[in-house]
Amino acid sequence: MYYSRHLEKKLIKLATQFKVVLLLGARQVGKSTLLGHCFPQLKHITFDPLVDDYGAKEDPVRFLNNFPAPIILDEIQYCQSLLSSIKRYVDQSDQKGQYLLTGSQNISVLKYAADSMAGRVGIMQLDSFTVDEIAQKPQNFLQYYLEDPQQFIKKFSGLLPLKHSLYEMIWRGTMPDTIEFSNDDIGNYFNSYIKTYIERDVRLLENIHNLTDFERFVRLSAALTAQEINYTQLGREIGISRLTAAKWLDILKHTYLWCEIPSYHRNTIKRISKKTKGFLFDTGIACYLQRVSSPDALSAHPMLGALFENFVSTNLLKLANTVSVPPIAYHWRTNSGAEVDLIFERDGKLYPIEIKCKSQISKHDIKGLKSFYETYPNQPIMPGVVISAGNECYEIDDNIFVVPWNAMFD
């Protein structure tokens, strides 16, 4: 079954504007499926890191002559020698959409595309499913909020029709391949995913001598998801230097397994933390790495709050990636403990969002939002939102709204 994606129209439009389109994203988030759906008439070739099936690495020119454009070339990072030849070929024609490429590593591929194909390549990122994509009820809560923060709550029309409960959604994650899996199959999927990621992607990307230590590092990153990043702590736990910990975290970022948001700080008398906050991009992977055995086990797990924040935050960051002019994301925390989990900035305006794994939100739960307003009285801060684990949408305080994690908007 094909699940519609937010970025379908954008992808098709890019192919009419650029000679080359580069679709980036983590492994198995649906890049090939999306291209195949949008361009079903095109030949599709997938490259392998170990086998040169079509002779593309050995003789790029012969390969391009044998497989003329337009064509889909999947996992281009495994055949980077082809990129310079593609550049020469597209320069011989004004035709748009000649080469549609995918990549699950953004270091060298993105650098080459930016440096040598400027003006020829359109680049976009595909993430795993958003909650509304899983429900197949296309919407964009974030866009409603950004466009009309005073009135967006009036668009609330109920809850998304999802097959799984909140705990199941967090535990299963949002990878396309897992959507139709039974709970019994989820562990096997993530075991294979992590094994392949480390032994193929990471080994090819970086010369790491001890992959066992790197796997422990990934597991620790999952334990610290939705927290401010402390490189010294990360290194100490594994027995590596702070510098190595920072380098390994960069590998997770460049392979789309990890994302970060900076702290928001402007001139203020309060002492504001300036540490970056990090998230593992999929809570299903995080639960597997932390050996959470089932949705029931998650319901009583000490990491439930962090995993709920991770689930909601990454969903919002994915939605931000689909907006035509994406907002900038921040988090905010004072040294005294006041915090706002997520803040979006666009057009000079701030949109603060607090995330609480509670069905009933109290005035105590909005103290961070109130403190944020008080700290920056002269900043253009829009009405705040608390995303909850409940089922109701309502105004809890002046210009502060509670919205369910699975809210549906018309």
Contact partners, residue 275, CB within 8 Å, separation at least 6: 228, 229, 230, 263
Whether residues 211 and 333 share a domain: the answer is yes
Whether 1 is in a domain gets the answer no
CB 315 within 8 A of CB 259: no
Angle among Cα 187, 190, 193 to the nearest 5 degrees reads 150
Q: Residue 76 has what DSSP assignment?
A: G
CA distances from 290 to 216, 297, 307 (A): 11, 11, 11
> Is the domain of 96 the same as that of 138?
no
Give how many domains the chain has, as a whole number: 2
In this predicted structure, what is the pLDDT of residue 209? 74
User: In this structure, is residue 377 part of a structural domain?
Assistant: yes
Classify residue 383: in a domain, yes or no.
yes
Does 196 share its domain with 99?
A: no
373 close to 383: Cβ distance less than 8 angstroms: no
Alpha-helix runs per DSSP H in 203-303: 203-205, 211-223, 231-238, 242-254, 283-289, 295-299
In one-letter notation, the amino acid at residue 81 is S
Residue 3 lies in a domain: no
Cβ pair 70, 99 in contact under 8 A: yes
Q: What are the mean pLDDT values of the chain's consecutive 10-residue runs (410 residues total)?
A: 94 96 94 96 92 88 94 90 88 94 75 70 94 93 93 92 96 95 95 91 76 90 94 85 90 92 80 89 96 96 97 97 93 92 97 97 96 94 97 95 94
pLDDT for the residue 355: 98
pTM over 0.85: yes
- Is 35 inside a domain boundary? yes
User: Residues 66, 188: one domain?
Assistant: no
Pick the last residue of a domain from 76, 107, 125. Answer: 125
Q: Measuring CA to CA, which residue among 393, 371, 368, 397 is closest to residue 383?
A: 397
- Provide the CATH number for the domain around residue 80: 3.40.50.300
| Domain identity same for 228 and 287 | yes
Given its phi and psi angles, is residue 314 left (phi above 0), alpha (psi -120 to 50 degrees) or beta? alpha
Count of residues in the chain:
410
Alpha-carbon distance 259 to 252, whole Å?
8
Is 2 within a domain? no
Question: What's the domain range around 320?
Answer: 131-409
Query: Per the domain annotation, does 94 fall within a domain?
Result: yes
Does residue 47 sit in the same domain as residue 188? no
In terms of domains, do 255 and 357 share one? yes
Residue 301 located in a structural domain: yes
Given 110, 125, 140, which residue is the final one in a domain?
125
Q: What is the pLDDT of residue 265?
A: 85
- Same domain as 224, residue 76: no
Residues 104, 179: one domain? no
Co-location of 101 and 141 in the same domain: no
Residue 4 CB: number of other CB atoms within 10 A?
12
Same domain, 71 and 196: no
Q: Which of 125, 145, 177 is the last residue of a domain?
A: 125
> Residues 6 or more apart from 195 whose CB is under 8 A from it?
none
In a shared domain, residues 138 and 118: no
